[in-house]
Amino acid sequence: MMLIAFAAPYPVESPLIHARTEPYPGRWTHHVAVRKAENITPELMKLIQASYAFRNTTTNKG
């Protein structure tokens, strides 16, 4: 099993999400358990891509 974690500025509602926390205001961390290759769905890839974009907007302020 592999655990994938990604961030978002809001809590993502999806049956893929195993757990979510808000360690900082406006920064949600989500965890998805991947047990087999078929669990890496287009929805999961979109969430990861959105998380990458979110990270780039929060770290490049300045």
The yes-or-no verdict on residue 4 having pLDDT over 90 is yes
Return d(Cα 62, Cα 47) in angstroms, integer.
26
| DSSP reduced 3-state for 15 | coil
pLDDT, one tens digit per residue, over 11-48 is 999 999 999 999 999 999 999 999 999 999 999 999 99
Where do the structural domains in the chain lie, given as residue ranges? 2-59
Return d(Cα 51, Cα 62) in angstroms, integer.
20
CB 49 within 8 A of CB 56: no
Check residue 60 and give its pLDDT: 56
CB 5 within 8 A of CB 29: yes
pTM here is 0.83
49: confidence class by pLDDT, cuts 50, 70, 90: very high
